Structure 1
């Protein structure tokens, strides 16, 4: 795999996992294989719960927002698990997972206020940069 392909691969994974594992240490994992391993070693419910807790803390969610965000996180964690468990090749999985990120962001934008969503996007960008540079 060339450096260009490796960097593109990391960017795709960063975009997905920034959303799915907001502020979790998985982003310090240097290789994309580590990300898949992290997904394989946790359940969608565990990932959704951890993500909701972090989002609640970082974005100061109201109880109503927290409930909606938790449902969204679980929905997309389950979808991501199906993709990871599929027989598709890794780059194909990454593309599917990336599309999930966009869908999930659309749903989160409807729940979060403007300032919260902007903060959420900044966190995503920071995590993606850390992944690319990591």
Structure 2
């Protein structure tokens, strides 16, 4: 998963990628997956067959997916400023935001966690960002 998400854009040279660039590619993968998950959740919310209780949990997920983008923006800004502590905190926050979606379904025990597949992928991607940041000394 990690190697597939840190592929340099077409036309760029992999030799030019430093640790921060690799982390930014990984963060971009999280951002893209969160946007896709938000779209999936929105489609389920719009389905008239979806129960009101599930709609509440899904709307919470959609908010969490928005929070992921916000946290990634702040991680990127902090990284650019050389603020390792805030970079680390914001990457940890991304991971927490993923868990928040799953928790909404767990809190409503009678619901099937319909976003579990997307959240599992997001959790891996977010954890990869943390690991890259640690390995590169960026947090």
TM-score by length of 2: 0.44
Q: Which has the higher helix share?
A: 1
Greater relative contact order structure (CA < 8 Å, 6+ sep): 1
Normalization by structure 1: what TM-score? 0.45
